[in-house]
Amino acid sequence: MSAVTSAAMSDAMSLDVRGLSIAARAAGGRTVPLVTDVSFRIAPGEAFGLVGESGSGKSMTALAALGLLRRGVAVTAGSVRLGGTELAGPGRAMPAGVRGRRIAMVFQDPMAGLNPAMRVGEQIAEVLRHHLRMGRAAAARRAADLLGEVGIEAPARRARDYPHTFSGGMRQRVMIAMALACEPAVLIADEPTTALDVTVQAQILDLLVRMQDERGMALLLVTHDLGVVAGTCHRLAVMYAGRLVEEGPVGEVFDAPRHPYTAALLAAAPENAMRGTAPKAIPGTVPAPGAYPPGCAFGPRCAHARPGPCDTGPVAMTESDGRRVRCARAPELALPGVPR
């Protein structure tokens, strides 16, 4: 009975993306699919990496979960659920009181992420006052505490400063404090370190992982950097041309990727290149949405594509021992991984 309860509990708190499809309205009434049939689930306490090149649909997926899609872009099928609450679905508006309270986001660009005309403490306190109905003084105190937790020195004093007095890394810490203010069950981080100096990147990632671990949050980390995923995430999913192509535990995927695209991405990372040799680039470019090639979308760039099995598709994802892959030739390929 207790097992059932705890399973139900983790259901109640996990982020469940099921069959999500997103399309943009284009000129002439056409719709261009941007994301097609994406499914994954993130349990509480789990860090999940969503990886892909620019235009693969990874950010779009994250934005849909928060109801932040631009005008003219909409969810056409599937759903995003947080426990029993549907956050996104066709024709669905974001329910009130969820954003900021149960699901929060850290953005890519910390330099533009804070209101320049508002003291940072006030910006954090605003969230607390709105969602938790805290009083002015209590919210201000809690805001300072949060700043301290994310590693800002002299938090009570710094809370009264304006954003322009903070460096990029410090601002990202403030953004994290703001996102964590209401103890959300899910934190979405969209390229949280891309705009930062390399030395600061590691600190911010450490902070994110520590906060996620301490609070048992589900973390969705959207990134194009496999190195970031390697150091922070439990599981990852790789997206290509709007679809998931591979999903599984980080260690296993890195050791033995099953999709040629994943293997190519791993081989293309400079830190995985053989010393003295250039990293192996993937030939060609990502196809633009609406102009996907027939058959396997990765086919034209794939070193393992063969006439026949790769001409029809996109094939369905197959699942075995906790891993999923979308490749017609997956069973016969033995792709090289990288040591972690």
Q: Under the rule (CB under 8 A), what is the footprint of other proteins?
A: 66, 68, 71, 96-101, 104-105, 107-109, 112-118, 126-127, 130-131, 175, 178-179, 181
Q: How are beta strands 243-249 and 218-223 bridged, if at all?
A: unpaired
- Cβ closest to other proteins, residue 63 vs residue 325: 63
Closest approach of other proteins to the CB of residue 56, in Å: 21
Closest approach of other proteins to the CB of residue 147, in Å: 16
d(CA 54, CA 270): 18
Closest approach of other proteins to the CB of residue 126, in Å: 7
The answer to whether 219 and 212 have CB atoms below 8 angstroms apart is: yes
Closest approach of other proteins to the CB of residue 101, in Å: 6
Determine if the peptide bond prior to 314 is cis (ω within 30°): yes
d(CA 107, CA 110): 7
**CA separation, residue 210 to residues 26, 45, 214 (Å):** 42, 11, 6
Burial call 23-33: b when 16+ CB within 10 Å, e when fewer? bbeeeeeeeeb
219: β partners: 47, 187
Helices and strands, number each (H, E), in the chain:
10, 12
Closest approach of other proteins to the CB of residue 195, in Å: 10
Q: How many CA atoms lie within 13 A of 75 on its CB side?
A: 28
- Cβ closest to other proteins, residue 125 vs residue 245: 125
Q: Which two tokens stand for residue 329?
A: 């030739």
Burial call 249-265: b when 16+ CB within 10 Å, e when fewer? ebeebbeebbbbbbbbb
- Cβ closest to other proteins, residue 105 vs residue 253: 105
Burial call 159-185: b when 16+ CB within 10 Å, e when fewer? bebebeebeebbbbbbbbbbbbbbebb
- Cβ closest to other proteins, residue 123 vs residue 272: 123
Closest approach of other proteins to the CB of residue 127, in Å: 5
- Cβ closest to other proteins, residue 94 vs residue 286: 94
- Cβ closest to other proteins, residue 47 vs residue 127: 127
Closest approach of other proteins to the CB of residue 61, in Å: 15
Nearest to 268 by CA among 283, 277, 281: 281
- Cβ closest to other proteins, residue 20 vs residue 181: 181
- Cβ closest to other proteins, residue 174 vs residue 244: 174
Closest approach of other proteins to the CB of residue 91, in Å: 18
Q: How far is CA 81 from the centre of its chain?
A: 15
